[in-house]
């Protein structure tokens, strides 16, 4: 599709440094009309910085950006006004006017026409904060499309989407490309790259290390280029002996006790139990009840004095103190343990040792142990959270989307560590929206739908299609 066509976006010799790191190192990149170009790489490889430079949000230290036409950027974290309606968000700042008032009728018609033209179904009057994430993204996309960009940049667009939403999202993107928009997707989901992209550029340590056509490569090849070698092998599943560890019976909890409605299951030591399901079916209330942070009705039994490692769903709000260093965060939730204190004092030697261990074992990319956590990339923050949850060899682990937002290399590492913990006798409850993750790790799989467990499978007897149907509530 490039052939004789002229590139609409031309990046030349782009370099951008931040204190202590070269984020983008002499990169050239061009984008042609009608192509879907995937920019892949590990966390901190420089993809998002490059996208921000292309968009004009970040100024490079040197190099030139040439764009023919408007550039649109859909952020990884949506930037929407939640208390406003869909049409208000789409037209924010460009509302049609009649005198000094907003012409609501014209705005309405405009948004409906825009949505239809792009094959995106939407209710223009819905309040944005009442919509599921998939639809919110549609709002964000519509807002960008309304500016009729020649170039559309999408930063980790599918990070928060359910499988069905991902398929419809890519249908939209493919249609846009067919009509001539140049599209660049920043991602680390290689399956999506292989399925939908035309060209792929792989970034590592700020530079582009491989450029190829999607049809001429494979997921494994891209993964190797991203990590600069072979992926760390996921630890093998070892034979374990089981003893009861966590027993949950007839659990009700969450908003009006309706998020979780009568859930019963057991996790034994030496096994990983996976909870599969689409986001919003009671998983977060289940995790909160197990963490003891919301009231519940029913039974949660675990051995007295069991050490519990928890990986919460929202790392910045629930697991880390963003303004603190890695060292200080390394003992959060462990500050009362004998290892972390000497009487009433914090044991600073152990705290630093543990932080170093987390950084080394999980390959946290940071200038120093004293770096503020909010300045790490999302993936590296997640590695700190996972490393801390597993550092005390817990006998029970509750992991909520443990690899969310982290790249293939780090994901494999985290999954490996969970498997090792299981092999060493930990009971692991894995709540994940990534079905593949559950299929590869879990010994037993439970499917959660609307607050109840609607199916249970042993590892040996898994039927993927059946699980998919149960997740969607059609079985």
Q: Catalog residues that contact another protein under the rule CB under 8 A.
A: 291, 293, 310, 312, 317-324, 328, 331-333, 335-336, 340-341, 344-346, 348
Taking the complex as a whole, the smallest distance from the CB of residue 324 to another protein amounts, in Å, to 7
The smaller minimum CB distance to another protein, of residues 237 and 341, is found at 341
Taking the complex as a whole, the smallest distance from the CB of residue 320 to another protein amounts, in Å, to 6
Taking the complex as a whole, the smallest distance from the CB of residue 321 to another protein amounts, in Å, to 4
CB 55 within 8 A of CB 419: no
The smaller minimum CB distance to another protein, of residues 127 and 324, is found at 324
Taking the complex as a whole, the smallest distance from the CB of residue 340 to another protein amounts, in Å, to 8
The smaller minimum CB distance to another protein, of residues 193 and 351, is found at 351
The smaller minimum CB distance to another protein, of residues 158 and 313, is found at 313
Alpha carbon distance 124, 112 (integer Å): 7
Alpha carbon distance 290, 267 (integer Å): 12
The smaller minimum CB distance to another protein, of residues 320 and 446, is found at 320
CB 455 within 8 A of CB 467: yes
Is the four-CA dihedral 373, 374, 377, 382 of positive or negative sign? positive
Taking the complex as a whole, the smallest distance from the CB of residue 319 to another protein amounts, in Å, to 6
The closest of 270, 249, 300 to 453, measured between CA atoms, is 249
The smaller minimum CB distance to another protein, of residues 103 and 318, is found at 318
Is the four-CA dihedral 319, 322, 327, 332 of positive or negative sign? negative
Taking the complex as a whole, the smallest distance from the CB of residue 350 to another protein amounts, in Å, to 13
């Amino acid at each position: 599709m490039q052939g004789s066509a002229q590139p609409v976006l031309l990046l030349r010799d782009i370099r951008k440094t931040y204190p202590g790191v070269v984020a983008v190192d002499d990169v050239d990149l061009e984008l042609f009309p009608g192509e879907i170009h995937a920019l892949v790489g590990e966390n901190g490889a420089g993809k998002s910085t490059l996208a921000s430079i292309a968009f004009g949000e970040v100024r490079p230290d040197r190099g030139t950006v040439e764009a023919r036409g408007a550039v649109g950027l859909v952020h990884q974290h949506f930037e929407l006004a939640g208390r406003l309606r869909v049409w208000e968000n789409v037209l924010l700042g460009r509302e049609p006017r009649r005198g000094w008032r907003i012409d609501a009728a014209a705005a309405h018609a405009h948004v409906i026409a825009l949505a239809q033209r792009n094959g995106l179904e939407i209710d223009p009057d819905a309040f944005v904060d009442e919509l599921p994430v998939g639809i919110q993204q549609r709002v964000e996309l519509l807002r960008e499309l309304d500016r009729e960009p020649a170039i559309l940049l999408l930063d980790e667009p599918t990070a928060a989407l359910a499988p069905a939403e991902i398929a419809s999202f890519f249908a939209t993107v493919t249609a846009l490309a067919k009509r001539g928009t140049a599209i660049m997707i920043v991602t680390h989901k290689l399956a999506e790259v292989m399925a939908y992209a035309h060209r792929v550029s792989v970034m590592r340590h700020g530079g582009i290390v491989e450029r190829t056509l999607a049809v001429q490569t494979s997921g494994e090849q891209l993964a190797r280029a991203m990590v600069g070698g072979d992926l760390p092998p996921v630890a093998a599943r070892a034979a374990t002996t089981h003893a009861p560890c966590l027993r949950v019976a007839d659990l009700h909890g969450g908003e009006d006790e309706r998020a979780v409605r009568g859930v019963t299951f057991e996790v034994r030591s030496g096994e990983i139990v996976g909870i599969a399901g689409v986001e919003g079916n009671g998983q977060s209330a289940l995790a909160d009840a197990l963490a003891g942070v919301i009231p519940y009705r029913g039974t949660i039994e675990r051995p007295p004095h069991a050490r519990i490692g928890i990986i919460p769903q929202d790392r910045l709000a629930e697991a880390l103190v963003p303004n603190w260093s890695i060292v200080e965060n390394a003992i959060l939730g462990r500050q009362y343990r004998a290892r972390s204190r000497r009487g009433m004092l914090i044991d600073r030697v152990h705290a630093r040792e543990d932080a170093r261990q987390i950084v080394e074992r999980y390959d946290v990319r940071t200038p120093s142990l004293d770096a503020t956590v909010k300045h790490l990339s999302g993936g590296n923050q997640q590695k700190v959270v996972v490393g801390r949850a597993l550092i005390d060899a817990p006998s029970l682990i509750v992991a909520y989307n443990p690899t969310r937002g982290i790249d293939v290399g780090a994901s494999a590492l985290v999954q490996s560590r969970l498997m090792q913990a299981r092999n060493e006798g930990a009971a692991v409850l894995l709540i994940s929206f990534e079905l593949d993750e559950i299929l590869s790790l879990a010994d037993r799989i439970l499917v959660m739908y609307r607050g109840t467990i609607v199916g249970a499978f042993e590892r040996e007897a898994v039927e993927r299609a059946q699980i998919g149907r149960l997740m969607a509530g059609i079985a």
